[in-house]
Amino acid sequence: MVFAEIKPQIEQLPHDERVKAMAYLKHLLRAENPAYQRELAQRHAEMDAGKKVQWEELKRQLGLS
């Protein structure tokens, strides 16, 4: 399948579905990037080591509480 085949289908999608499609494509591109893979591995290691933010603290930091 090539882009020219799916382009008309993408153009027919509602805006919110196009946004989801773009997010998915961005995810695929980033997932293949070795630097991004290293960054995710580092973040997971930090979380495993206990560096986490509780939901209540996150809401406070974002000004939601």
53 and 61 Cβ atoms separated by less than 8 Å: yes
Question: What percent of the chain stands above pLDDT 90?
Answer: 75
With bands split at pLDDT 50, 70 and 90, how would you rate the model's confidence at 65?
confident
Q: What does the buried/exposed string (b/e) look like for 25-61 if buried means 16 or more CB atoms within 10 Å of the residue's CB?
A: eeeeeeeeeeeeeeeeeeeeeeeeeeeeeeeeeeeee
Structure confidence by residue, pLDDT tens digits, 14-36: 999 999 999 999 999 999 999 99
55 and 62 Cβ atoms separated by less than 8 Å: no
Task: Give residue 36's Cα distance to chain centre.
Answer: 11
Question: What percent of the chain stands above pLDDT 70?
Answer: 100
